[in-house]
Amino acid sequence: MDTLPRRRALITLGATAAGLLPASSLLAQPAVAPSLDVPFVPTPQEVVERMLTIAKVGKNDVLFDLGCGDGRIVVTAAKEHGARGTGIDLDPERIGEARKNAQQAGVTDRVSFKVADLFETDVSAASVVTLYLLPNVNTRLRPRLWKQLKVGSRVVSHAFDMGPEWPPEKTDSVEGRSIYYWTIKPEHKRATKT
């Protein structure tokens, strides 16, 4: 998705490279805010706990939270379930908060956080993927999950399902919040090869 500030910055960059504008034009640009597909809204802690319980997260798991916000799902998975985890977020401010939270929880040896676009992130190392995104973002992400995750990997989403093409195996609710659960099956891998 594009935003006006990002477009302006790219136009300036192109014009500068083409010699149409002096290099000092780049310095005059305001910092470009990341173009987020979903705003930051944290998952309540009770819902985090239930997501991790439904996915049976344990010490042998590698959990990826795509759009990790302040890192609460990854940090809880490490602190309460002994898992290793990676949080991905496009917003550097969120990643800064997540790192601080990991430090406070004493789990920096088991977690890492990275500023990155979830649509450009390789999730093949994950045994569990957690999501709190939006319906259209989940739907766009589904083919990547089918392609990259191993058979038996689990996916848990707060609030939104994956549309009619991937009905959940389990659903639950905590304090009026829906949770959806899927596992990767051989047929999903086959579907990505056709």
User: In the bound complex, what is the minimum distance in angstroms from residue 15's beta carbon to ligand SAM?
Assistant: 27
Q: Which of 56, 54, 65, 46 is nearest to 132 (CA)?
A: 65
User: In the bound complex, what is the minimum distance in angstroms from residue 102's beta carbon to ligand SAM?
Assistant: 14
Give me the residues that bind ligand SAM (CB under 6 A), please. Answer: 36-38, 40-43, 65, 67-69, 72-73, 88-91, 94, 117-119, 132, 158
Q: How many CB atoms neighbour CB 90 within 10 A?
A: 18
Q: Which residue is nearest to ligand SAM (CB)?
A: 67
End-to-end CA distance of the chain: 28
Q: Which is nearer to ligand SAM, 113 or 166 (CB)?
A: 113
Q: Which is nearer to ligand SAM, 94 or 188 (CB)?
A: 94
Q: What are phi and psi of 39, to 5 degrees?
A: -75, 165
Q: Which is nearer to ligand SAM, 94 or 154 (CB)?
A: 94
Q: Which is nearer to ligand SAM, 38 or 149 (CB)?
A: 38
Rounded CA-CA distance 185/112 in Å is: 28
Q: How far is CA 111 from CA 2, 36, 100, 126, in A?
A: 31, 23, 12, 13
Q: Are 49 and 76 in contact (CB under 8 A)?
A: yes
User: In the bound complex, what is the minimum distance in angstroms from residue 24's beta carbon to ligand SAM?
Assistant: 31
User: In the bound complex, what is the minimum distance in angstroms from residue 188's beta carbon to ligand SAM?
Assistant: 22
